[in-house]
Chain A
Amino acid sequence: MLAFSIRRIIGAIPTLFVLIAISFFVMRLAPGGPFSANRKLTEAIIANLNKAYHLDEPVWMQFGRYLWGLLHFDFGPSMKYRDFSVTELIVHGFPVSLEVGFWAMILATVVGIALGIAGALRRNGATDFSAGAIAMIGIAIPTFVIGPLLQIFFGLKLGWLPVAGWDGSLNAKILPIVVLALPNIAYISRLTRGSMIETLRTNYVRTARAKGIGARRVIWKQALTGAMLPVVAYLGPATAITVTGSVIVEQIFGIPGIGRYFVEGAANRDYPLVMGVTILYGGIVILANIVTDVARGIIDPKVSYE
């Protein structure tokens, strides 16, 4: 088990390295330097700026410098927010992103599983139908359409929740978390429903029923454990969807997290900022995939560590 985890972590190192290398070289090769958008500068000033940011060194030396910095959690200086380093920006914005993302994952898992079970137990009933409809909407209508629609409905028409903004109050957090959770609610409820229906038909569940174990106990103890396997396997991709979705949600609701820095950075060609967020989020997704694999190994006896 431990050996498996370690092997899985070592296997992820090339992915992380390629991610860092791709982001670094793309940023260096991309047209339009960070200073070209500014007012006209004299050559001497540009040369000085390039020197200050080590842009005059050979590319491989810059890459080495960047890697060395990463080992110290130093993502370099931001080129747009001159007074901040990328690390400072990330430290400032990440807790906000993490809070929204964490609660969105919790909400998606709880509601998704509940809807899925309800649908599986009363197939083709009203609950099943509405759960299916929610799932369909969550999958087919993208976040950036649902978000503004909910803003209109709950923010403007009903006036229950603030349209956007982030003042730390609970009310301001509800809409972003729900919107971020919606696609995953859809996928998780579909997965749970499918695998629950399948599990209820298996021999071991029938045996348990035949032995006289009550329906409720069978559902919660026997069937649910078996039905959860695909859901656990989905948690890796769910993290990726949440991370990507947070970029959109932070943009729509004006949340000061690092997803918004990513969009602004890409628009302003603030290379170090874009790289920092990409590497951090890439690292989180890679880590989530490892955790998912290990968790599957623990729960599912059929997964071998070979």
Chain B
Amino acid sequence: MSELLAGTAQPLETVASMGVSPFRASWRRFSRNKLAVGSMIILTLITLLCLAGPLFYPFDPEDADFDNIAAPIDLFSLHPFGTDEFGRDLLARVLTGGQVSLAVGFVGALAAVFIGVVYGATAGYIGGRLDNFLMRTVDVLYGIPYFFLVVLINLLVGRTIMGLFVSIVVVLWLTPAVIARGQALSLRHREFVDAARAGGMTEWQIIRQHIVPNSLNVVIVYSSLLVLEVIITESFLSFLGLGIQPPASSWGSLIDTGARAIETDLRLLLLPGGFLAATLFCLNFIADGLRDAFDPNER
């Protein structure tokens, strides 16, 4: 604890920080990082805009307005950000597309972290043959370029939002599993685990109540990168026409539409592309901030 703080805290705060939990100390370091906090605020705003915006916005993303086809950007008109070639409101489409991208990103990362941590914690804690078998499996899957695996599984489970989600999660839990296993290996002979065993807890209870919670804080840093990776993978697939199918949309499929129309109408690329890029920038800065805050020895 004290050695964690020694390098970074200013002298005045060392006194004040006495008795602060490592998590609180890390959080304090994170909140001093202006770039990361700013990114967090912007990301929250984007998320709120995508979630709440369509509720108050008068246009449905799938309804065509035949009076205003391919309307330009005009902030004081009926469609402030214009419409696409079918007369669908561009802003409405980008916002609901964002709901899909963000939901798949966050829920997907959460699911992948959960599967990975349980898998890795079990392997590391039980050890022996089971560990060997489980981690060999991870090694084998690691060798395969994951994009191709995602596409293969996507062919199997279908091109719905759920299918897309499943195929991404099925592939991306590997790294959390490796991280959690390392942590579980170092935890399995700690006193409190021995105490729990002596107290009569079953192996599964120990994994659930001691190993998994204690592995989670190590994985937190990685999970922010995972959100990024899931969002990119989803847009990647949708861009190639292998993900979200029309009339539903995500940022990836909107960018695909935009990229086909660059000669006639740049907005179709720039609006969804801008939202996606802003989100990815924010997630990157947040991940950097989390790494600096939770893992001061990393640098």
Cα–Cα, bound, A152→B153 (Å): 34
B269 at the interface (CB under 8 A from A): yes
Q: Are A269 and B241 in contact (CB under 8 A)?
A: no
Q: Judge if A29 is at the interface, Cβ distance under 8 Å.
A: yes
- Whether B236 lies near A144 (C-beta < 8 A) is yes
Q: In this assembly, does B281 line the interface, its C-beta being within 8 Å of a C-beta of chain A?
A: yes
State which residues 267-281 of A face B: CB under 8 Å: 267, 269, 274, 277-278, 281
Chain A residues whose CB sits within 8 angstroms of the CB of B149 once the complex forms: 22
A139 partner residues in chain B, CB cutoff 8 A:
284
Write out, one digit per residue, whether chain B residues 262-283 have a CB within 8 A of any chain A CB (1) or not (0). Answer: 1100100100010011001100
Interface on B for A, CB 8 Å cutoff? 136, 139-141, 143-145, 147-149, 151-156, 158, 232, 235-236, 239-242, 252, 255-256, 258-259, 262-263, 266, 269, 273, 276-277, 280-281, 284
Number of A-B contacts (CB under 8 A): 113
Q: How far is the CA of A22 from the CA of B156 in the complex (A)?
A: 11
Question: B interface, by DSSP: helix, strand, loop or mixed?
Answer: helix
Q: For the complex, give the distance between the alpha carbons of A156 and B147 in Å.
A: 31
In the complex, A19 Cα to B262 Cα: how many Å?
A: 38
Q: Are A140 and B152 in contact (CB under 8 A)?
A: no
Q: Is the CB of B280 within 8 A of A141?
A: yes
Interface string of A3-42 (1 = CB under 8 A from B): 0000000001011101100110011011100000000000
Given known A140-B280, A274-B152, contact A251–B145 (CB-CB < 8 A): no
How distant is A69 from chain B, measured CB to nearest CB, in Å?
19
Chain B residues with Cβ under 8 A from A286's Cβ?
143-144
A255 contacts chain B at the CB level, 8 A cutoff: no
Given the complex of chains A and B, what is the CA–CA distance between A152 and B261 in angstroms? 11
Taking a contact as CB atoms under 8 Å apart, the answer to whether A142 and B156 are in contact is no
List A contacts of B241 (CB < 8 A).
Answer: 263, 267
13 sampled A-B residue pairs with Cβ under 8 A: A12-B143, A14-B136, A16-B143, A19-B143, A30-B155, A30-B156, A145-B273, A147-B259, A244-B145, A274-B152, A274-B155, A281-B145, A286-B143
Q: Is A18 a contact of B141 with CB atoms below 8 Å?
A: yes
A252-306 at interface with B (beta carbon < 8 Å): 252, 262-263, 266-267, 269, 274, 277-278, 281-282, 285-286, 289
Identify the interface centre among B144, B255, B256, B280: most chain A CB within 10 Å of its CB: B144
Judge whether B240 and A145 touch: CB under 8 Å.
Answer: no
Set of chain A residues within 8 Å of B156, measured between Cβ atoms: 26, 29-30
- A86 close to chain B: CB less than 8 A: no
- Pick the residue among B139, B145, B148, B284 that contacts A136 (CB under 8 A): B284
Docked complex Cα distance between A243 and B277 (Å): 22
Other than A15-B143, A244-B148, A281-B145, give 5 A-B pairs with Cβ distance below 8 A. Answer: A16-B143, A145-B273, A151-B262, A262-B148, A266-B155
Knowing A145-B273, A148-B269 touch, does A18 contact B152 (C-beta < 8 A)?
no
Given contacts A30-B155, A145-B255, contact A248 B145 (CB under 8 A): no
Cβ contacts under 8 Å, B236 to chain A = 142, 144, 248
The answer to whether A98 has its CB under 8 Å from any CB of chain B is no
A247 within 8 A of B: yes
Cβ-defined contact, A22 with B255, below 8 A: no
Cβ–Cβ < 8 Å partners of A252 in chain B = 259
**Across-interface contacts of B151 in A (CB, < 8 A):** 262, 266, 274, 278
Taken residue by residue from 137 to 161, chain A's Cβ proximity to chain B (1 for < 8 Å, 0 otherwise) reads as 0011110110111011000100000
Interchain CA distance A277-B148 in the complex, whole Å: 9
The 5 A-B residue pairs whose C-beta atoms are closest, nearest first, are: A15-B143, A148-B259, A145-B273, A244-B147, A140-B280
Give the Cβ gap from A25 to chain B, nearest Cβ, in Å. Answer: 9
- The answer to the question of A240 belonging to the interface, with a C-beta cut-off of 8 Å to chain B, is yes
Bound together, the chains give a CA A277 to CA B256 distance in angstroms of: 23
A144 to B251, CA, bound (A): 11
A262 vs B151: C-alpha distance when bound (angstroms): 10
CA A31 to CA B266, docked complex, whole Å? 37
Q: Which residue of A lies closest to B278 (CB)?
A: A140
Within 8 Å by CB of B155, from A15, A144, A269, lies A269
Chain B residues near A148: list those with CB within 8 A.
255, 258-259, 262, 269, 273
* Pick from B155, B235, B263, B277: contact of A140, CB under 8 Å: B277
Smallest Cβ distance from A70 to chain B, in angstroms? 16
B240 touches A263 (CB 8 A): yes
Instruction: Give the distance in Å from the alpha carbon of A113 to the alpha carbon of B219 in the complex.
Output: 30
Structural contact, A251 and B269, CB atoms closer than 8 A: no
CA distance A12 to B262 in the complex (A): 44
* Bound complex: CA A149 to CA B155 (Å): 30
Q: Which chain B residues border A277 with CB–CB below 8 Å?
A: 148
Q: Give A75 to B147 CA distance when docked, in angstroms.
A: 21
Best-buried of A16, A147, A252, A278 by chain B (most CB within 10 Å): A278
Complex contact A19–B144 (CB within 8 A): yes
Residue of B143, B149, B277, B280 ringed by the most chain A CB atoms within 10 A: B143
Interfacial chain B residues near A30, Cβ < 8 Å: 155-156
The CA-CA distance from A151 to B273 in the complex, in Å, is: 15
Q: Which residues of B contact A23 (CB under 8 A)?
A: 152
CB-based nearest A residue for B282: A140
Which residue of A has the minimal Cβ distance to B150? A244
Q: Chain B nearest CB: distance from A272 CB in Å?
A: 13
**Chain B residues whose CB sits within 8 angstroms of the CB of A140 once the complex forms:** 277, 280-281, 284
Please tell me if the beta carbons of A266 and B242 are within 8 angstroms of each other in the complex: yes
Is A14 touching B262 in the complex (CB atoms < 8 A)? no
> Which chain A residue lies CB-closest to B155?
A30
Q: How far is the CB of B158 from chain A (nearest CB, A)?
A: 7
If A148-B269, A248-B240, A266-B155 touch, whether A289 touches B143 (CB-CB below 8 Å) is yes
